[in-house]
Amino acid sequence: MFEITQKQEQYQTYVMTDVQAQSQIEVVPERGAIITRWRVKEEEILYLDQERFTHPELSIRGGIPILFPICGNLPNNSYTYQNQTYQLKQHGFARDLPWKVIETNDHDCASMTLALQSDEQTLMVYPFEFEITFTYQLKRNSLRILQTYHNQSEAIMPFATGLHPYFQVEAKNQLQFEIPATFYQDQVSKETYPFKGKFDFTQAEIDVAFTQIDKHHTAIADLNKNHKISINYSDCYSTLVFWTIKGKDYVCLEPWTAPRNALNTQEKLICLEPGNTFDSVVEINLSYF
């Protein structure tokens, strides 16, 4: 049995539930269609800085923010397209804008579809007309995120997209990683280092990118909680980013379709022809051991 209900807090919030599995997610369309919570049998799977979330002028720290039309940041927050310079802040604008609820469904799963369309505000920083739809599907301990990107402009639309899940972790030294890469680049030093399956959590911050991944699967096993979070993603995702801050109870393992600054470098950008659509899927599964 599946349920979709609504509650009014600071924002209108949709609650999607698999009753039998006791699995539940919360979605806030007004704040970038973000999934703010995922609970399984009363256990919080995602981290959320609730205090920061109450301030709409601040970026959200927690949940699963949507990254579009860039992942990461640009030098001086700027890029050039057809000899014109545009300003675009880190991770783009999709995570900040209100999305429209298109459909909900509780038949075979708890399902919800939301859409974001270009407008005067987005065209000032990204000169392309588009429509994006995201469908969240919750069934048992599995969350599927189906995505469609539609280029409604008359020019080829270059973009990158990604997800930024914050996973709740209390004991980072009890984590084991399955990351399909042998090297990573440190985003501060820009140096490349071999990856041997572990991170040094004594550092103040870890911000690294794996840009040569050889599988479309990654996972984090939490020995403290006796569970494993697996992420499967379409082959368009070329980069995995791992980020965490010392003293904060989260780790982020993020599938991106392109690395930082791709709108300037053109590296691994998706270039969508006028009138065409592009589909991708990310699936997050929780299992216990």
Q: Between the ranges 189-193, 196-200, 273-277, where is the mean pLDDT highest?
A: 273-277
What is the reported pLDDT for 181? 96
**pLDDT above 90: residue 188:** no
Which residues lie below 8 Å from residue 117, measured CB to CB, with a gap of 6+? 100, 130, 131, 132
In the three-class reduction of DSSP (H, G, I as helix; E, B as strand; rest coil), residue 172 is classed as helix
15 exposure class (CB count in 10 Å sphere: 0-12, 13-18, 19+):
middle
85 exposure class (CB count in 10 Å sphere: 0-12, 13-18, 19+):
exposed
CA distances from 144 to 15, 168, 211 (A): 15, 19, 23
What is the reported pLDDT for 42? 87
What is the reported pLDDT for 267? 96
Q: How far apart are the first and last CA of the chain?
A: 25
- The C-alpha atoms of residue 191 and residue 281 are separated, in whole angstroms, by 31
Percentage of residues of the chain with pLDDT beyond 90: 96
| pLDDT tier for residue 18 given thresholds of 50, 70 and 90 | very high
- For residues 247-251, average pLDDT: 97
What is the reported pLDDT for 253? 98
pLDDT in tens, 24-64: 999 999 999 999 999 999 899 999 999 999 998 888 999 99
Query: How big is the chain by its Cα radius of gyration, in Å?
Result: 18
| pLDDT tier for residue 154 given thresholds of 50, 70 and 90 | very high
Q: Quick count: other Cβ atoms within 10 Å of Cβ 73?
A: 14
pTM above 0.85, yes or no: yes
Domains of the chain (ranges plus CATH)?
2-288 (2.70.98.10)
